[in-house]
């Protein structure tokens, strides 16, 4: 696994040992970031269920101004901290479960990656999205990574704008409604 493009292009990332995380493939990440285009540049990013941090680090490499990485698994946290330090583009690692983080988070972000374990039920993902929507800037984007073939996640205040499939992965892009 590596950074695909930007200032850290080609840098290798460590994956957490074991099967508790499933990093997004390079192909899926490349397709995702190509579809996001310049929306990443200058953005405030949050990477929820960060695992190795590949999504947030890719965003930083492509010009995001800052990233917060949220992860609770100790093995993933070790790999994540190593990757953030090795890539050297900044970012803050928060050792927390996602719900607890969102309950206390006071920031506003432009781009959020929600990459929960595949076995996290859709209602739980919807609850995370509902908590996240108040932290999104107007027009902010959320990318949700799920197993292919499931229903699209949704919550009030977010509109599905795109979905893409890569192997057994499905990526849903939602945008905060302007009200």
Domains of the chain, residue spans? 26-176
Give the pLDDT of residue 19: 56
Give the pLDDT of residue 21: 62
Give the pLDDT of residue 86: 94
In what helix (H) or strand (E) does residue 166 lie, and over which residues does it extend? strand 158-166
Q: Does domain 26-176 have CATH number 3.90.850.10?
A: no
Compute CA distances 99 → 3, 36, 104, 106, 120, whole Å: 28, 26, 9, 13, 13
Give the pLDDT of residue 108: 94
CA–CA distance, 135 with 83 (Å, rounded to integer): 26
Mean pLDDT by 10 residues, the chain (179 residues): 90 78 78 90 96 95 96 94 95 96 94 87 87 92 88 85 89 86
């Amino acid at each position: 696994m590596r950074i695909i493009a930007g200032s850290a292009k080609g840098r290798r990332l460590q994956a957490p040992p074991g099967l508790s995380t499933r990093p997004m493939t390079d192909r899926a990440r490349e397709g995702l970031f190509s579809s996001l285009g310049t929306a990443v540049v200058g953005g405030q990013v949050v990477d929820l269920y960060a695992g190795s941090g590949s999504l947030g680090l890719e965003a930083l490499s492509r010009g995001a101004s800052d990233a917060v990485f949220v992860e609770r698994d100790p093995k993933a946290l070790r790999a994540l901290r190593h990757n953030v330090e090795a890539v050297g583009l900044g970012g803050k690692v928060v050792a927390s479960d996602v719900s607890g983080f969102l309950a206390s988070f006071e920031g506003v972000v432009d781009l959020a990656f929600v990459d929960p374990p595949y076995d996290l039920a859709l209602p739980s993902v919807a609850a995370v999205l509902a908590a996240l929507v108040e932290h999104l800037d107007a027009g902010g984007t959320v990318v949700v990574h799920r197993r292919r073939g499931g229903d699209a996640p949704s919550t009030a205040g977010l509109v599905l704008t795109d979905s893409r499939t890569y192997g057994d992965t499905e990526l849903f892009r939602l945008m905060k409604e302007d009200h």
